[in-house]
Amino acid sequence: MASRADNDLQRLAIDRLRGRTDDLRPGLSRLSDKLNARADLLRNSLDSIQSDTIAAIEGLSVAMRQREQNAQATFDRTLAAISHRVLSNAAIFLAITMTASIVIALSIRLPTATDHERDGRDHGRRSRSQVQGIHARDEVGAMARAAEHSRTMQSPSRRPKTSCAPQRSARKMHSRSSAQLSRI
């Protein structure tokens, strides 16, 4: 570079620059070595930090899986206990409801059956006896014939068993009774 200088001032400046570059070269090489050492340190420390982090994450995931399994087992046990309680309560309420239904049905049916039997006996006695005054020709006879006709229609044992002829005679009797009542 000194060959390119045009005058002494430029040569003197170039010589000073050469001295300074010679001073800077060892500093630059030390700086380069330190930068390489730092890069290696960072690379190695990052790898070790990364491996430590991966190990910590794996440990945490194993612990989380165990906790999840424990929580699932507890949930299953609790759900089974609750469903067992609900099922037993439902069975108890069903039994109570069925018992109450039977008691209510019997409390209605037994008195009704007793009343029905008593009415049947009373009706049997009444159906054997004939209404008095049925042969009278006045309004009392008409009312008696209407009552007899009504009893005949209500009682299955007193209904005529032949086809249409007795029904026609009963209708005629009823219409005569009605006619006699309407004349009054």
Q: What is the pLDDT of residues 9-25, one digit of tens each?
A: 887 888 888 888 888 88
Asked if residue 152 lies in contact with residue 158, where contact means CB atoms within 8 angstroms, the answer is yes
Query: Alpha helices of the chain — where are they, by DSSP H?
Result: 8-128, 139-154, 165-183
pLDDT tens sequence across 77-122: 999 999 999 999 999 999 999 999 999 988 888 878 777 777 766 5
- The whole-angstrom separation of Cα 32 and Cα 41 is 14
Alpha helix (H) residue ranges in 129-138: none
Percent of the chain exceeding pLDDT 90 equals 27
Candidates 50, 53, 31, 30; CA nearest to 42 is 50
d(CA 38, CA 78): 58
